[in-house]
Amino acid sequence: MAHEVHIAGLAKTYGSQRVLGPLDLHLEAGTITVVIGRSGCGKSTLLRCLGGLEKPDAGSIRIGAGQLRREDIGYVFQEPRLMPWLTVSRNVAFGLRGHPARDDRVAEALAIVGLQQAASLLPKQLSGGMAQRAALARALAPKPELILLDEPFSALDPFSRESLQQHLLHLYRHYRTTMVLITHDMDEALTLGDRILVMQGPPGKIVADLSRHDTKARLREALEPGGRGPPGPQAGAERPQTPLRARAL
Ligand SMILES: Nc1ncnc2c1ncn2[C@@H]1O[C@H](COP(=O)(O)OP(=O)(O)OP(=O)(O)O)[C@@H](O)[C@H]1O
Ligand SMILES: [Mg+2]
């Protein structure tokens, strides 16, 4: 079941440098929120705080009605981080130890990312795209209530990247989990995000709150205010008016 996320007054400091916040955010249940911004502005710090990998100095994070629990959260990093000595299916099963429906969950997650045939392979036998699909399946198999993805496709070539984006949307339609995805790529943000938050920093602050109905020109202007002048006459044509999510369904 997907849950909403409430973030209130979230702040993080390293040494004497405030790198994040204070930040207030409300993420609706079952939506994909994309966070985009320049390198070093605090995106990963936000995600690590959300995932409980980093302890914020101030503020609170609430998922659904309860408090944050590690097992409610799936994490996908830029690199797959599979365990090299375990097969694909054992990697995917890793977070399901002792779960009564473990084998079914693994089979389901592998089918969704199209890796049924690769279940018994070791990570070294996979392409980069296959390995990242396995990482997605591993994050999804326990059916977490929140999935955090930190530039999950940035190391991939454009073809693998596009295919993985479609796999992610497929997974999203299947599980309807709340997701937060970080990217540097405007096209990826507009393809995947229901909501696109533009971050500037440090300290990381949300400076624009856009939707997937916005144009790439508007997103670029939010990322680089005044940087490239006003949107040109073709700006509205850069993205189809029909939402991509709706088209994909
Ligand atoms: N463990 C740490 N100790 C000290 N400073 C850190 C630490 N982690 C991050 N920072 C600093 O916090 C700021 C934000 O880092 P963060 O990794 O969140 O940026 P980012 O937006 O994810 O960047 P990128 O797009 O390059 O991944 C940076 O200035 C970085 O140097
Ligand atoms: Mg980062």
Asked whether 153 and 188 are in contact (CB, 8 A), the reply is: yes
The predicted structure's pLDDT at residue 191: 94
Instruction: Tell me the C-alpha distance between 225 and 196, whole Å.
Output: 16
Compute φ and ψ for 74, nearest 5 degrees.
-105, 140
The predicted structure's pLDDT at residue 52: 87
Residue-by-residue pLDDT tens, the chain, 249 positions: 678 899 999 999 999 999 998 999 999 999 999 999 999 999 999 999 998 899 999 999 888 776 656 777 899 998 899 999 999 999 999 988 888 889 999 999 999 888 999 999 999 999 998 999 999 999 988 888 889 999 998 888 888 889 889 988 988 888 788 999 999 999 999 999 999 999 999 999 999 999 989 999 999 999 987 765 444 443 333 434 333 333 332
Asked whether 113 and 136 are in contact (CB, 8 A), the reply is: yes
Query: Does 84 sit behind a cis peptide bond, omega within 30 degrees of 0 on the bond before it?
Result: no
Cα(119) to ligand 2 centroid in Å equals 30
Instruction: Work out which ligand 1 atom sits closest to the CA atom of 151.
Output: 27
Token pair recorded at residue 20: 């994040």
Q: What separation in angstroms does the CA of 227 have from each of 208, 215, 223, 230?
A: 16, 16, 9, 9
Compute φ and ψ for 176, nearest 5 degrees.
55, 35
User: Ligand 1, atom 26: nearest CA belongs to which residue?
Assistant: 39
Q: Which CATH number fits domain 5-248: 3.40.630.30, 3.30.420.140, 3.40.50.300, 3.40.50.11540?
A: 3.40.50.300
Find the Cα–Cα–Cα–Cα dihedral 239, 241, 245, 248, rounded to 10°.
-90
The predicted structure's pLDDT at residue 236: 38
Does the CB atom of residue 44 touch ligand 1 within 6 A?
yes
Compute φ and ψ for 43, nearest 5 degrees.
-65, -50
pLDDT by residue (tens digit) across 35-84? 999 999 999 999 999 988 999 999 998 887 766 567 778 999 988 999 99
Instruction: Work out which ligand 1 atom sits closest to the CA atom of 42.
Output: 18
Domain boundaries, the chain: 5-248
pTM value is: 0.87
Asked whether 124 and 26 are in contact (CB, 8 A), the reply is: no
Cα(41) to ligand 1 centroid in Å equals 7
Does the CB atom of residue 21 touch ligand 1 within 6 A?
no
Instruction: Give the residue, out of 12, 19, 41, 150, with the most ligand 1 atoms within 8 A of its beta carbon, to mutate for a pocket test.
Output: 19
Token pair recorded at residue 146: 């929140």
Cα(106) to ligand 1 centroid in Å equals 34
Asked whether 73 and 146 are in contact (CB, 8 A), the reply is: yes
User: Ligand 1, atom 25: nearest CA belongs to which residue?
Assistant: 39
The predicted structure's pLDDT at residue 62: 85
The predicted structure's pLDDT at residue 247: 33
DSSP string, 51-66: TTSS--SEEEEEETTE
Q: How do strand 58-63 and strand 5-14 relate by DSSP bridges?
A: antiparallel
The predicted structure's pLDDT at residue 227: 65
Token pair recorded at residue 128: 């980069």
* Best CA proximity match to 30, nearest among 153, 146, 191: 146
Q: Which helix (H) or strand (E) holds 73?
A: strand 73-76
- Rounded to 10°, the helix 102-112/158-175 angle is 130
